[in-house]
A and B are shown apart, each in its own frame.
Chain A
Amino acid sequence: MTHLYTQRSVGDLRAGDHAWLAFSHPDEQSRVLGDFVYAGLDAGEKVVCVTDAAPRHLPGLLSRYGIDATPFAEAGHLAVIPWHLACAKDGYSDPALLADTLEREIAKALDQRFQRVRITADMTWAAGLPGGDQFMLACDNEVEAMIGPSTVATGICQVDRSACTPEAIDVLQHHHEVLVEVNPEYDDGVLKITRTFRPHGLKLEGEIDGARHAAFTQTLTAVSDPRSEVHLDLNNLKFIDLGALSLIGTHALRLTRGNGLVLDNPTAELQGVIDMVGFHRYPGITRGQGWGAK
């Protein structure tokens, strides 16, 4: 059975969205959660985080925005609720209690005259426990029941991908209609460039021609990292001009500090162009996933 879901940048989440993030890298978690919580605090919205981290250590706030969230918690803009307070009863964790906690927090936020509520729940702690998958699924159901029909609340449930089995990730992912990803590095309505973390690189969507060479090179430079090669996901790239291909070819080795660029999932048309001009033979260029007879 195929499952339909929407992939949405964290900045595009709206009321009623109960989104899912299985992060592959701490940087990915920082970017999504940091941007989500910061945008809420910045806009004067109530933020509720169900996590065992202290406000100061909420992902991405200190590292990306230089903010210690403790004063926000003290002022009541931010509620950081440890899991044992959110859903434990008589030493057991009960997902139904999570719903009660969230309902209470939303009601409290509205009493405090907040117009919107942002909720995050970090479930990584449960992933490694016996029955953890079932617990996470049950929690998700409760959050969905709470946020799905809401016109004021938006939520992100998150888990460290490496803590879960692939089967658990699959089941949890299929449980969500919205998958959240980092905000794009560049988006002008024609070209959208988004960082990817598994594999490390960029997802290119839309069209690149001479008008967007500078933005493209700048982003490619920013993503340069000595630890690994850089992947470019071309699945939704409808057009790329020869100038941008030449840029990729010229900078493949330099921008990635010698690691090279891997081109993944080109459209049949783009593959035709690359094969025709022999671009895949340029130094530092490797053909990755999704090539072949199309």
Chain B
Amino acid sequence: MTLDHFALPYQGDDQFLGAALPFLTEGAERGDTVFVATNPRKRAALRAELDGAVQFLDQGVFYEHPTRIVAKVLRQWQEGKAEGRGLRILGEPHWETWGKWEVLEWQRLESLVNLVFADTDASFMCPYDLGALPLPILDAARRTHPHSAHGRFRRANPGYLEPGLFGAMCDREPLAPAPADSAAMPVFSPDMRDLRALVAGHARDLGVPGGTLHQLLVAVTEVATNALRHGTPPVVLRLWPEDGELVCEVADEGHWQPEDSAGPGHFPPNPELPGEIPRLGLWAVRMLCDIVQVRTGPAGTRIRIRTPLCA
């Protein structure tokens, strides 16, 4: 059982269709579950050539959230596997619609796929438009895909990095310090009602809707509880609005060294493994929130949760 995860650098529709059509047809003929998520124009072009065996998804729906999509696709593969079906996905994100931090998380996801799906026989084709995408995105594609397709041939990407290494690169850029006028609260006690009241007050003032707010409260409580239990005091919560987002930061002075090879909380827990103790932790925080940034070092550990504000 081998994962097949490769980039398809292409120029123009002909090159795209020339590689995508055989990939999708082969999957459909094998009886695999086959998904396509790309822009409407390319979806229409593919749909014209393929019958109903392929499911077409809107990019906005498929690429809704990097952690949730991992859980969803992994589940899809497990369910198909139980029925003897494979999984094949052609996925082309709408890179141009994302901000800097979102792009980074989706690039990290491209890399994590190699680890999370390592023990599966899923096939993922990731097209990259050489004519339209900026260089840094094309460069990252070479680091996150072990192979690239060129016509009917596959070549190993010499620049490919192990997901742990790539993840560390994603977290290399230091976070700007919290603004001096941010709201701050020291965290002393595992009873975090006051902390939740502070977060809820700010979030409501800034227009974060109810369901999102509750998920944020669960996430902040988890991060602060972990800092209190495992970090080094003082633990401080800070809040401020930044570029259309509410930023919640929990900082402590400990140097956290997470054991996960993919970086903290990126690997989904599998509750169905016998004897496994299910842990939700930071992975669930990533599921509940939009963007979670972790920076840790000798100077301390900071975790930031960014929640988009309604326009």
Q: Which residues of A contact B68 (CB under 8 A)?
A: 276
- Expressed in whole angstroms, the minimum distance between the Cβ of A239 and any Cβ of chain B is 7
User: How many residues of B sit at the interface, in one of the four size bands?
Assistant: 20 to 34
Please tell me if the beta carbons of A278 and B271 are within 8 angstroms of each other in the complex.
yes
Contact with B along A259-294 (1 / 0, CB 8 A): 000000000111011001111011100000000000
The answer, among A207, A209, A281, for a CB contact under 8 Å with B272, is A281
Please tell me if the beta carbons of B214 and A269 are within 8 angstroms of each other in the complex.
yes
Please tell me if the beta carbons of A281 and B210 are within 8 angstroms of each other in the complex.
no
- Given A239-B196, A243-B222; A268-B288 close (CB under 8 Å): no
- Given A246-B278, A246-B279, A272-B215; A277-B221 close (CB under 8 Å): no
- Given A242-B281, A250-B277, A273-B215; A283-B192 close (CB under 8 Å): no
- Given A246-B278, A277-B287, A277-B288; A268-B211 close (CB under 8 Å): yes
Please tell me if the beta carbons of B193 and A207 are within 8 angstroms of each other in the complex.
yes
Query: In the complex, what distance in Å separates the CA atom of A260 from the CA atom of B171?
Result: 41
Q: Which residues of A contact B285 (CB under 8 A)?
A: 242
Q: Which residue of A lies closest to B222 (CB)?
A: A242
Q: A207-B193, A211-B189, A211-B192 are in contact. List 10 more A-B contacts (CB 8 A).
A: A209-B190, A210-B192, A241-B221, A241-B222, A241-B225, A250-B278, A269-B210, A273-B288, A276-B288, A281-B271
Q: Which residues of B contact A273 (CB under 8 A)?
A: 214-215, 218, 288
Query: In the complex, what distance in Å separates the CA atom of A190 from the CA atom of B288?
Result: 25
7 CB contacts below 8 A, A to B, read A212-B191, A241-B221, A268-B211, A269-B210, A269-B211, A272-B214, A272-B215
Which parts of B247-298 form the interface with A (CB within 8 Å)? 271-272, 277-281, 284-285, 287-288
- Given A209-B221, A241-B222; A283-B190 close (CB under 8 Å): no
- Expressed in whole angstroms, the minimum distance between the Cβ of B217 and any Cβ of chain A is 7
Check A201 for interface membership: any CB of B closer than 8 A: no
Which parts of B60-85 form the interface with A (CB within 8 Å)? 68, 71, 75
Check B36 for interface membership: any CB of A closer than 8 A: no
Q: Which residue of A lies closest to B219 (CB)?
A: A242
Contact with B along A235-260 (1 / 0, CB 8 A): 00001011101100110000000000
Q: Which residue of B lies closest to A211 (CB)?
A: B191
- Expressed in whole angstroms, the minimum distance between the Cβ of B185 and any Cβ of chain A is 15
Q: Which residue of A lies closest to B193 (CB)?
A: A207
Q: Which residues of B contact A269 (CB under 8 A)?
A: 210-211, 214-215
User: How many residues of A sit at the interface, in one of the four size bands?
Assistant: 20 to 34
Query: In the complex, what distance in Å separates the CA atom of A268 from the CA atom of B196?
Result: 18
Please tell me if the beta carbons of B215 and A276 are within 8 angstroms of each other in the complex.
yes
Check B228 for interface membership: any CB of A closer than 8 A: yes
Query: In the complex, what distance in Å separates the CA atom of A246 from the CA atom of B284?
Result: 11
Q: Which residues of A contact B271 (CB under 8 A)?
A: 249, 278, 281-283
Please tell me if the beta carbons of B272 and A243 are within 8 angstroms of each other in the complex.
no
- Expressed in whole angstroms, the minimum distance between the Cβ of A257 and any Cβ of chain B is 18
Where the two chains meet, the residues of B that have a C-beta atom closer than 8 Å to any C-beta of A are 68, 71, 75, 189-193, 196, 210-211, 214-215, 217-218, 221-222, 225, 228-229, 271-272, 277-281, 284-285, 287-288
Q: Which residue of B lies closest to A270 (CB)?
A: B214
Please tell me if the beta carbons of B284 and A283 are within 8 angstroms of each other in the complex.
no
Q: Which residue of A lies closest to B214 (CB)?
A: A269
Query: In the complex, what distance in Å separates the CA atom of A211 from the CA atom of B218?
Result: 14
Please tell me if the beta carbons of B191 and A272 are within 8 angstroms of each other in the complex.
no
The answer, among B189, B211, B221, for a CB contact under 8 Å with A272, is B211
The answer, among B75, B192, B229, B288, for a CB contact under 8 Å with A209, is B192
Q: Which 4 A-B pairs have the closest CB atoms?
A: A210-B190, A211-B191, A269-B214, A277-B284
- Expressed in whole angstroms, the minimum distance between the Cβ of A183 and any Cβ of chain B is 23
Query: In the complex, what distance in Å separates the CA atom of A206 from the CA atom of B281?
Result: 22
- Given A249-B278, A276-B68, A283-B271; A242-B284 close (CB under 8 Å): yes
Please tell me if the beta carbons of A211 and B190 are within 8 angstroms of each other in the complex.
yes
Please tell me if the beta carbons of A246 and B211 are within 8 angstroms of each other in the complex.
no
- Expressed in whole angstroms, the minimum distance between the Cβ of B190 and any Cβ of chain A is 3
Of A209, A211, A281, most B-chain CB atoms within 10 Å: A209
Which parts of A194-222 form the interface with B (CB within 8 Å)? 207, 209-212
- Expressed in whole angstroms, the minimum distance between the Cβ of A270 and any Cβ of chain B is 8
Q: Which residue of B lies closest to A210 (CB)?
A: B190
